[in-house]
Amino acid sequence: MAVYIYEQLFQFTERVFKSIGCSDVDALKATEVLLSADLRGIDSHGVARLSGYIRLWQAKRINAVPNMRIIHETPSTAVIDGDAGLGLVVAPFAMQVAIDKAKAVGTGWVSVQNSNHFGIAGYHAMMALKEEMIGIAMTNASALVAPTFSTEKMLGTNPIAVAIPAGEQPPFVADFATTTAANGKLEILQRKNEDTPVGWVQDQDGNTSTDANILKKKGALLPLGSDREHGSHKGYALGSIVDIFSAVLSGASYGPWAPPFPAYIPMPENMPGKGLGHFFGALRIDAFRPASDFKQHMDQWINRFRNATPAAGYEKVLIPGDPEREMELIRMQLGIPLVDAVVNDLQETGAIFNIHL
């Protein structure tokens, strides 16, 4: 374990993205998006993934100089072809289109085809906050999740993020995988050689498992709810909605055909669309009521929930976004800790381009 200051990781990552041919603007944006995950404590989606993006570029599955463009639109909607660009660049471009449409007609909704992994959904949703808008971001991903009653991996962890501005209070920012546990949590247990709790994963026959390595043995992650009795059909429905909004609306590849993140896995056969899909929404607050009224009531909402009676052993009730915001303050000041495996991985990636961490 070593700790790196944000600026150091930023410069390193930016140079790597420039080395694969990204423009200065794109390299800066991709770095900002990627590192927002490390700052917010979602370590699985930050620099730990840099080598994965580079391998996708080496495999010619990522285009460093994409011609991103709107291929269909109405006053409140657009579909964007990401031209196989880095999702880290395509997603902010698409979210900006949603924001611009919201400025014009109240809300904007953008579905994206032909993209790749876009980092954390929360970054993109939060772009709306400074515009006094609610932001929504979601994406499909390669299949790791079995629907209720199935043993077959059909859906990605398909996250949803919703960012809602407040007044004096910090914003409400929910950002979560539509599974009981995100894949990153399994990876942490794998490194520690520990079991998962019951309800996170199942084995190849659909039986309960606590093996953190079960995905490599034809097992699957479970939808939020874990099993039918505890509402897994709801998590399955949520993951499906994300898949359909992101990929069927846009013309991306959906369900078990979503392209894999690891470059060594062959692309699925008979893909029904292009690349990964995302979906973004922006809702202008004053398209519903004066922003000052809304913010005052959001402050009251947040205060009331934060002061709800805590259960024994807990100090207070959290508002979605609290833990990540606190982590960001700490890591901006004290640096970002990286496990040795990630440091080695970054150094090997840098070495390809003669860049030292």
110, exposed or middle or buried, with CB in 10 Å at 0-12, 13-18, 19+?
buried
Q: Is 167 in the site for its own copies (CB under 8 A)?
A: no
CA distance 119 to 34: 6
Whole-number minimum distance, CB 162 to its own copies, in Å?
5
- Residue 350's CB is within 10 A of a number of other CB atoms, namely 20
Q: Is 294 in the site for its own copies (CB under 8 A)?
A: yes
Looking at 50-58, 75-83, 326-334, 335-343, which segment touches its own copies (CB under 8 A)? 75-83
Q: Is 85 in the site for its own copies (CB under 8 A)?
A: no
- Single out the residue of 318, 334, 341, 352 in contact with its own copies (rule: CB under 8 A): 318
229, exposed or middle or buried, with CB in 10 Å at 0-12, 13-18, 19+?
exposed
Helix axes 340-352, 6-19, angle to 10 degrees: 40
Nearer to its own copies, 263 or 319 (CB): 319
Q: Is 229 in the site for its own copies (CB under 8 A)?
A: yes
**3-62 binders of its own copies (CB under 8 A):** none
Whole-number minimum distance, CB 74 to its own copies, in Å?
3
Binding residues for its own copies, rule CB under 8 A, total: 84
Nearer to its own copies, 23 or 300 (CB): 300
Q: Is 164 in the site for its own copies (CB under 8 A)?
A: yes
- Single out the residue of 2, 5, 65, 105 in contact with its own copies (rule: CB under 8 A): 105
**Buried residues in 132-151 as b, exposed as e (16+ CB within 10 A):** ebbbbbbbbbbbbbbbbeee
- Single out the residue of 1, 266, 269, 314 in contact with its own copies (rule: CB under 8 A): 314
Collapsing DSSP states into helix, strand and coil, what is residue 260?
coil
Nearer to its own copies, 67 or 303 (CB): 303
Nearer to its own copies, 194 or 293 (CB): 293
Whole-number minimum distance, CB 355 to its own copies, in Å?
38
Rounded to the nearest angstrom, the gap between the alpha carbon of residue 203 and the centroid of all alpha carbons in its chain is 26
In DSSP terms, which residues pair with 155 in a beta bridge?
145
- Single out the residue of 15, 55, 61, 230 in contact with its own copies (rule: CB under 8 A): 230
In DSSP terms, which residues pair with 81 in a beta bridge?
69, 113
Nearer to its own copies, 83 or 203 (CB): 203
User: How many angstroms separate the Cα of 111 from the Cα of each of 9, 62, 73, 79, 278?
Assistant: 31, 19, 10, 5, 6
Collapsing DSSP states into helix, strand and coil, what is residue 348?
helix
Q: Is 327 in the site for its own copies (CB under 8 A)?
A: no
